[in-house]
Amino acid sequence: MQEQIIRSEYSEIMQKNFIDYAMSVIVARALPDIRDGLKPVQRRVLYDMFELGLRYDRPYRKSARIVGDTMGKYHPHGDSSIYDCLVVMAQDFKRGIPLVDGHGNFGNIEGDGAAAMRYTEARLARITQEQFLEDLDKDVVDFIPNYDETEREPSVLPVKLPNFLIGGSEGIAVGMATSTPPHNLGEVIDAEIAFIRNPDMTTADLMRYIKGPDFPTGGYVINQDELLEIYETGSGKIRLRGKTTVEKGKNGHVNLIITEIPYTMVGAGIGKFLSDVAELSEKKLTNDIVDISNQSSKEGMRIVIELKRDTDVDHFTNLLYKKTKLEDTFGVNMLAIDHGRPETMSLRDIMKAVVDFRFETETRKYQTLLKKEQERREVQEGLIKACNVIDIVIEILRGSRDRAQAKGCLVNGNTEGIRFKSKESRAMAAQLMFTDRQADAILEMRLYKLIGLELDALVKEHEDTVAKIDRDEDILEDHESMSAVIQDELRQLKKLYGQPRRTEIANMAEAVYEEKPIEEMDVAFVMDRFGYAKTIDASTFEKNAETIAAEFRYGFIMKNTGKVCLFTSAGTLHTVKAMDLPQGKLRDKGVPIDNVSGFSSAREQIVLATPQSELNLYRVMFVTRQANTKVVDGGEFDVSKRSVAATKLNEGDEVLNVRVLHGERTVILQSENGMFSRFPVEEVPEKKKIAVGVRGMKLAAGDTLREVYYLREEEQLRIEVNGRSVELSELRITGRDGKGCKL
């Protein structure tokens, strides 16, 4: 076959492939289906457990077996994602109603991970078995081929409750994410029943039943008035707050007890909260904390903060709300797959989709049941009819050569080749006309069925079957009957699995906390040549001035309430609060300056570090590699932002030197080619920080500045040039924008 080259635009191929990839992640990995509220991996794990027979009343099975079976049959995307999914579905602190009954270490609310899958065991929770998987054998959902078309899996589970709302969901896809909080099962079921009765209900109507989210960790939702808009649009921010109580402690101290936490603190957030509380003391924001301890157990959450006896507890609690995650926000984006498309859905949209799906599955269920009952009725009628003409049936069986001949007579009245006792018997046999199914049942019927009591039982079964058929037909033909069946099942579901609400919904005033003024004092900022910075005591700095000058790149005294200004080669100014730097001893390591500022050592270098208070009093001179110079009023750098542009640069240029002018009269520019230009500082014009500046020296092609020197009145400075010592004050003044001279 001759090779054919297909030419195509690269951008078109990339666009098509990326869209295909994105939709695959969105639909097949990250987002739940609105009908069952499950992501594909969750659905596959539950179905595989059902296939393995891991019922709630049977023994547990190793998690590794479940993970391996799921990966091999349905989800070939790695064992870690499957096991993580299994673990989350078993954690009652993440789901109000766990879908998996876990046995062993499945992690805890403080962020400790689950044991390895070879150690833990699991089985289906009762609610999952009865409400998620029970009707799979009744053709209620479509089955699709698995990834290699060797197995079949359900495209969606026939869930009988609005799991998308009750279980909540979180997932990150490509270009979109879903974040739905969990809700109270009883409230959601009440809302669904009301919606079935009145499909014209609005979101506001539904919220008479669903008050808001119900997190397994309890706590408060404090912006009740904003919930209606969130549920109408499907997105917004819910403000959460933990619950606290006050107890008397030892030695007259007061104990602030945190009994419930915001849902967003589940996991590593609790450890972060404890460190944040400790940091409040380190940063001198409060002096009231005596001790912090986490006394949580199986009985519940209990974080104890021991406070001094004269502490204003309300004021301290407001400090926690402001400075820690004890008050936090939960971003809501109720995004789900609806009819194959990702949609952000309102509460009413969700309820409509769930109810429509429930009616669809119930219709398919009762169609299947009706078909089976009709088949059963057909068999029962055949057996009853056969019992009434049992003598003829026996003659047919005794006079036939084989089963096929007997069945042909029972179904079609074909008596040819069959021996009968009389012509009357042959004539009666020719008129039987049973159906295929009835004939098979007659041929397989046991003789004890001819006993009188057995025949009576058969007639009773037939009456029951006819009643069931009438019931199923009524449910399928009458919408009200179907609605009544669904509502009855939902009420029973609420009775079995309903729980009291954990999270309180209210409108609470914003926490008010006024920071106590910090006592202003002198500290010393020091930063070594590796970029590690800290503040030290001012007296220590003065005692070790020579050591600091030798070992540290920058060191100066400033106020602890002030800021450090960092000018960089990229023409940027980064500011760092002295309070954000650790205070320690001279030999302490400090913290990388990158971590406490917008500065990035990978993109730029620090040219000057100076206290902001000094800039307000003086002018600042800039010199770039391409010899552009300018002077800027230091007051322009009194900014509130962490990072701003300090100067404008030409393409390919960078800042070589920044100098706060303290009486410098002369500037000397030295180029890489050994050219020197000396001129008065007053010849450099003052400009705004957004200006480029003016040329300080005419450079030859390919030459750039190497060094900048400054001299005060009568000051002398000697440097080494080409192996000989040169006194810079003796260089002739060439003037700004000259070519300079070569030594």
pLDDT band at 26 (very low <50, low <70, confident <90, very high): low
Q: CA–CA separation, 134 vs 489, rounded Å?
A: 13
Q: Which amino acid is at 118?
A: R
pLDDT band at 280 (very low <50, low <70, confident <90, very high): confident
Residue 119 maps to a domain: yes
Q: Please answer whether residues 428 and 389 qualify as being in contact, where contact means their C-beta atoms are separated by less than 8 angstroms.
A: yes
**Beta-carbon neighbour count of residue 592 at 10 Å?**
15
Task: Count Cα neighbours of 517 within 13 Å in the Cβ-side half-sphere.
Answer: 3
Tokens 């029962």, residue? Answer: 380
Q: CA–CA separation, 262 vs 255, rounded Å?
A: 20
pLDDT band at 367 (very low <50, low <70, confident <90, very high): very high
Q: Is 555 helix (H, G, I), strand (E, B) or coil?
A: strand
Residue 491 maps to a domain: no
In angstroms, what CA-CA distances link 648 with 430, 599, 635? 108, 17, 17
CATH number of the domain within which 86 lies: 3.90.199.10
Quote the number of domains for the chain.
5
pLDDT band at 1 (very low <50, low <70, confident <90, very high): low
| Token pair in block for residue 245 | 């109580």
Residue 204 maps to a domain: yes
pLDDT at 618 exceeding the cut of 80: yes
Residues 100, 219 within the same domain: no
Residue 489 maps to a domain: no
The DSSP string of 522-569 is EEEEEEETTSEEEEEEHHHHHHTHHHHHHHEEEEEEEETTSEEEEEET
CATH number of the domain within which 386 lies: 1.10.268.10
Residues 581, 646 within the same domain: yes
Contacts of 707 (CB under 8 A, 6+ apart): 669, 670
Q: What is the DSSP letter of 395?
A: H
Residues 526, 608 within the same domain: yes
- The residue among 383, 381, 377 whose CA lies nearest residue 467 is 377
213-255 pLDDT, tens digit each: 999 999 999 999 999 999 999 999 999 999 999 998 888 889 9
Contacts of 505 (CB under 8 A, 6+ apart): 211, 212, 220, 221, 224, 227
Residues 191, 271 within the same domain: no
- The residue among 344, 334, 350, 95 whose CA lies nearest residue 206 is 350
Residue 167 maps to a domain: no
| Token pair in block for residue 741 | 């001279």
Residues 643, 699 within the same domain: yes
Q: CA–CA separation, 283 vs 276, rounded Å?
A: 10
Residues 559, 663 within the same domain: yes
Q: Which of 119, 147, 321, 709 is catalytic?
A: 119
What does pLDDT average to over the chain? Answer: 90
Tokens 């109720």, residue? Answer: 334
Last-in-domain residue among 422, 455, 477: 477
Residues 646, 528 within the same domain: yes
Q: Please answer whether residues 637 and 630 qualify as being in contact, where contact means their C-beta atoms are separated by less than 8 angstroms.
A: no
Tokens 């595989």, residue? Answer: 48
pLDDT at 283 exceeding the cut of 60: yes
Q: CA–CA separation, 445 vs 453, rounded Å?
A: 15
Residue 207 maps to a domain: yes
User: What is the phi-psi region of residue 218: left when phi exceeds 0, alpha when psi lies from -120 to 50, beta otherwise?
Assistant: left
pLDDT band at 480 (very low <50, low <70, confident <90, very high): very high
CATH number of the domain within which 638 lies: 2.120.10.90
Residue 287 maps to a domain: yes
| Residue 701 burial class via C-beta count within 10 angstroms: exposed 0-12, middle 13-18, buried 19 and up | exposed
Q: Please answer whether residues 619 and 634 qualify as being in contact, where contact means their C-beta atoms are separated by less than 8 angstroms.
A: yes
The range of the structural domain enclosing residue 444 comes to 379-477
Q: Please answer whether residues 486 and 366 qualify as being in contact, where contact means their C-beta atoms are separated by less than 8 angstroms.
A: no
Residues 151, 189 within the same domain: no
Q: What is the DSSP letter of 686?
A: B
Q: CA–CA separation, 64 vs 116, rounded Å?
A: 9
Q: CA–CA separation, 92 vs 103, rounded Å?
A: 13
Q: CA–CA separation, 730 vs 727, rounded Å?
A: 6
Average pLDDT in the 140-165 region? Answer: 94
Q: Please answer whether residues 274 and 292 qualify as being in contact, where contact means their C-beta atoms are separated by less than 8 angstroms.
A: yes
Residues 204, 229 within the same domain: yes
pLDDT at 72 exceeding the cut of 90: yes
Tokens 């709630």, residue? Answer: 56
| Residue 235 burial class via C-beta count within 10 angstroms: exposed 0-12, middle 13-18, buried 19 and up | middle
Residues 198, 344 within the same domain: yes
Whole-model pTM?
Answer: 0.72
Last-in-domain residue among 446, 477, 508: 477
Q: Is 513 a known active-site residue?
A: no
Residues 548, 641 within the same domain: yes
Q: What are the beta bridge partners of residue 606?
A: 568
Alpha carbon distance, N-terminus to C-terminus of the chain: 76
| Token pair in block for residue 510 | 């914003």
Can you point out the beta strands (E) in 419-513? 504-505
How much of the chain, in percent, has pLDDT values that exceed 70?
Answer: 97
pLDDT at 199 exceeding the cut of 70: yes
pLDDT at 549 exceeding the cut of 70: yes
Could you tell me the sign of the dihedral formed by the alpha carbons of 668, 670, 674, 679, in that order?
negative
Q: Please answer whether residues 129 and 50 qualify as being in contact, where contact means their C-beta atoms are separated by less than 8 angstroms.
A: yes
| Token pair in block for residue 502 | 């954990």
- Phi, psi (deg, nearest 5) at residue 558: -150, 180
Residue 5 maps to a domain: no
Residues 419, 565 within the same domain: no
What was the pLDDT predicted at 2? 65
